Amino acid sequence: MIAPKSDKINLLGLNRQAMQDFFVALGEKSYRAEQALKWIHFHGMREIEMMTNFSKSLREKIVAVAEINPPEIAFESTAPDGTHKWVIKLKDGNCIETVFIPEKTRGTLCVSSQVGCVLNCDFCSTGKQGFSRNLESAEIIAQLWIATRSLSHNKAIHDRAVTNVVMMGMGEPLLNFDNVVRAMDLMLDDFCYGLSKRRVTLSTAGLVPAMYQLRERSDVSLAVSLHAPNDELRNILVPLNKKYPLKELMRACKDYFKDANRRYVTIEYIMLAGINDQPDHARQLIKLFKDEDVLSKIKVNLIPFNPFPNTIYQRSDQATIDRFQEILMAGNINCIIRKTRGEKIDAACGQLVGQVRDRTRRAERLQKKVLLQDKL
Ligand code: SAH
């Protein structure tokens, strides 16, 4: 059943500025915004009636025009390695996926920015299912809101709440710039989640003009999905490269550090057997970073490919990945191998499909698989 659309303002998606505007429009003082943000995000409250430092008449005034309306959890599952996935059903019936990855010293939430994706990267299952729409800022921040609430109730499974957010779920966040940035404002806001700018990372396939825009508008950390050391190969793996080739992309990365307090741009490099994982590719990468003068400003994350049905690609074997890392490190590149998490519940990088309504049968098949696994 699709929930009826409400005309009320959803307070969940308002950043501090928008919340202040809301209260001023109601004839109230702007400091009310901070109180409301704290109730909604810090305390995870959804009942306006329970905001006890607002007078009864103010609460009535708010309820008449606004609500706190998060999407519902369609189902959720936990992998043997502790990774937890929520499939979240939006008001139009579309589903998105959010993944929590607990580690010894931190807990990372992987957040989606769009329903599906237009970029169609050849190795990513999200791209293969098509695109439906951008998420609203409320739907983006709701993923952190839901995770925070549900993890705090679920101490048995996870004793650590969300300390890091990566915009690495479904979609290309820079193609939904305004809503993503507004949601990230809330992640950083001390009245809400208070995450440090180093612990909120936006990952992009390389939308160069929006990277420059992001640098002006937000303080968050940046990750770039590179995946190939030359334009010829990157044009195939990441078709967006035809529009913004490597030289332009590297220049945008370099520009991102103009402010001294930004430390690194993370370069993501997926390891595809026999495609981009050979020693010569590693050497080409070093040359690219040297030529573009970014060598000291980047750190490379090697990501073992996560297979999905009907893909033509395979994961590189461990020895090949280790060799690739050694070559990069010998070239003075800071490089780590990303541990694959959540595979058993299709929650690993590139396996998030959610459900784009009435799109492909493949997405439905995968959805059913998750449902079945949930029942096991
Ligand atoms: N559109 C953004 C964010 C989403 S993808 C971007 O491209 O950066 C998040 C990361 O997972 C990206 O580095 C992406 O390339 C990687 N990824 C996609 N499919 C994958 C797969 N099948 N296996 C491993 N990593 C994958």
In the 8-state DSSP scheme, what is residue 13?
G
User: How much is the mean pLDDT over the chain?
Assistant: 89
From the list 85, 84, 89, 97, the residue with the least C-alpha distance to 73 is 89
Ordered alpha helix ranges (H), 38-159: 56-65, 125-128, 137-153
For the chain, what are the domain ranges? 9-67, 72-362
Q: Is the pLDDT of residue 4 over 80?
A: no
- In the predicted model, what is the mean pLDDT of residues 138-153? 93
Cβ of residue 123 lying under 6 Å from some atom of ligand 1: yes
From the list 302, 339, 361, 342, the residue with the least C-alpha distance to 98 is 342
Tokens for 128?
Answer: 């293969």
- pLDDT score at 365: 44
The DSSP line for 363-375 is HHHHHHHHHHHHH
Cα-to-centroid distance, 195 and ligand 1 (Å):
23
- pLDDT score at 362: 45
Cα-to-centroid distance, 168 and ligand 1 (Å):
7
Cα-to-centroid distance, 214 and ligand 1 (Å):
19
Position in ligand 1 atom list of the atom nearest CA 268: 13
Core vs surface per residue 149-172: b (16+ CB within 10 A) or e = ebbeeeeeebeebbbbbbbbbbbb
Q: What is the pLDDT of residues 156-211, one digit of tens each?
A: 544 458 999 999 999 999 999 999 999 999 999 999 999 999 999 999 999 999 99
Q: What is the pLDDT of residues 99-113, one digit of tens each?
A: 999 988 899 999 999
Secondary structure class of 71 (helix, strand, coil) = coil
Confidence band of 372 (pLDDT split at 50, 70, 90)? very low
- In the predicted model, what is the mean pLDDT of residues 258-270? 81
Dihedral angle over CA of 182, 63, 46, 173, nearest 10: -20
Cα-to-centroid distance, 124 and ligand 1 (Å):
6
Cβ of residue 350 lying under 6 Å from some atom of ligand 1: yes
The percent of residues above 70 in pLDDT, for the chain, comes to 86
Best of 96, 211, 266, 270 for a ligand 1 pocket test (most atoms within 8 Å of beta carbon): 270
Q: How far apart are CA 213 and CA 194, in angstroms?
A: 23
The CATH architecture one would assign to domain 72-362 is Alpha-Beta Barrel (3.20)
Tokens for 308?
Answer: 């999905």
- In the predicted model, what is the mean pLDDT of residues 135-151? 96
Position in ligand 1 atom list of the atom nearest CA 306: 23
Higher pLDDT, 287 or 4: 287
Cβ of residue 205 lying under 6 Å from some atom of ligand 1: yes
- pLDDT score at 353: 61
Where residue 40 falls (left for φ over 0; alpha for ψ -120 to 50; beta otherwise) is alpha
- pLDDT score at 125: 87
Has 349 been annotated as catalytic?
yes
3-state per-residue secondary structure call for 197-242:
HHHEEEEECCCHHHHHHHHHHCCCEEEEECCCCCHHHHHHHCHHHH
In this structure, the residue with its CA closest to atom 24 of ligand 1 is 305
Cβ of residue 303 lying under 6 Å from some atom of ligand 1: yes
Has 97 been annotated as catalytic?
yes
Strand order from edge to edge, sheet including 200-204: 72-78, 84-89, 95-102, 107-110, 164-167, 200-204, 221-225, 265-271, 298-304, 334-337
Cα-to-centroid distance, 191 and ligand 1 (Å):
31
Catalytic residue among 76, 97, 136, 139: 97
- pLDDT score at 219: 86
Where residue 89 falls (left for φ over 0; alpha for ψ -120 to 50; beta otherwise) is beta
From the list 121, 250, 223, the residue with the least C-alpha distance to 164 is 223
In this structure, the residue with its CA closest to atom 9 of ligand 1 is 168
Predicted TM-score (pTM) of this structure? 0.90
CATH number of 9-67: 1.10.150.530
Q: What is the pLDDT of residues 70-127, one digit of tens each?
A: 999 998 999 888 899 999 999 999 999 999 999 888 999 999 999 999 999 999 988 8
